[in-house]
Amino acid sequence: MEFVKYEQEGFVGIVTIDRQKALNALNSQVLEELSDTFDAIDLETTRCVILTGAGEKSFVAGADIGEMSTLTKAEGEAFGKKGNDIFLKIEKFPIPVIAAVNGFALGGGCEISMSCDIRICSENAVFGQPEVGLGITPGFGGTQRLARLVSPGMAKQLIYTARNIKADEAYRIGLVNAVYPLEELLPAAKKMAAGIAANAPIAVRNCKKAINDGLQTDIDSAVVIEEKLFGDCFETEDQKAGMANFLEKDKEKKLKVVPFQNK
């Protein structure tokens, strides 16, 4: 891989977009490498993924404007599909994905962060959907996910005005969960990922699926989705060990890390 790096630390996978000469902008090659990287993650040994950008300036500065500049209508639509396919892969990835946003998250950069389960960012982060200033719409899910994550009115204001916002405003509108000094961002993401990885992996995966699938439908159907995924946890080693530890009231056992199974 030229532009996407992967490291494994315990149960946590770290995916880094590394195309620093273009502030980690997403061209076709980066998108393909991202797709291949997620496909190659071993779900037997990985329980949480962190997605970040290389360097201290930019998470992802958007889709590659040079590559887009000469596209026809049909090619533009196909480029949008290419981005949407990989972002959907991240959104539906069976285990949680945390975006550690270390600088510019513009256009496709904001959009890829929104396909992750959780966003945290550094104090120098800048979010925005500048596309209308370039004569296009947000094309990697921005018109859909921003309106779902923050209020529709706020999403429309940000998209129509193409105004960039800093980390504190992204926090205030609920786009990110927390803001850290740059040097503390990755350690904080790793700490959160390790906390997730210490919990029962089947239960965590089922929570992700229940939340994601439930948000796509009405509440009556959503609670049925929840019931099935709740029931699916029973009879697993995780459920038996987790509940037995509690019921045995054995302090040592309660504190012991349960040898959680994976699926």
Tell me which amino acid residue 125 is.
A
In sequence order, the 6+-apart residues with CB closer than 8 A to the CB of 114 are 141, 142, 145, 146, 149, 175
**Does position 66 bind ligand CAA by CB under 6 A?**
yes
Residue 162 Cα distances to 46, 76, 101, 137, 153, angstroms:
37, 20, 19, 10, 14
Helix/strand/coil percentages in the chain, nearest 5: 50, 15, 30
Q: Which lies closer to ligand CAA via its Cβ, residue 27 or residue 236?
A: 27
Please indicate whether residue 226 is annotated as part of the active site: no
Binding test (CB under 6 A) with ligand CAA, winner from 3, 11, 59, 104: 104
Q: Which lies closer to ligand CAA via its Cβ, residue 48 or residue 167?
A: 167
Binding test (CB under 6 A) with ligand CAA, winner from 127, 131, 179, 186: 131
Binding test (CB under 6 A) with ligand CAA, winner from 61, 114, 197, 204: 61
Interacting residues with ligand CAA between 13 and 42 (CB under 6 A):
22-23, 25
**Does position 115 bind ligand CAA by CB under 6 A?**
no
**Does position 53 bind ligand CAA by CB under 6 A?**
no
Point out which residues pair with 148 in neighbouring strands.
none
Q: Exposed/middle/buried for 200, CB within 10 Å: 0-12, 13-18, 19+? A: buried
Please give the Cα distance from 183 to 220 (Å, whole number): 45
Task: Check 9, 131, 226, 237 and give the catalytic one.
Answer: 131
Residues near ligand CAA, by CB under 6 A: 22-23, 25, 61-66, 83, 104, 106-108, 111, 130-131, 134, 138-140, 142
Q: Please list the active-site residues.
A: 111, 131
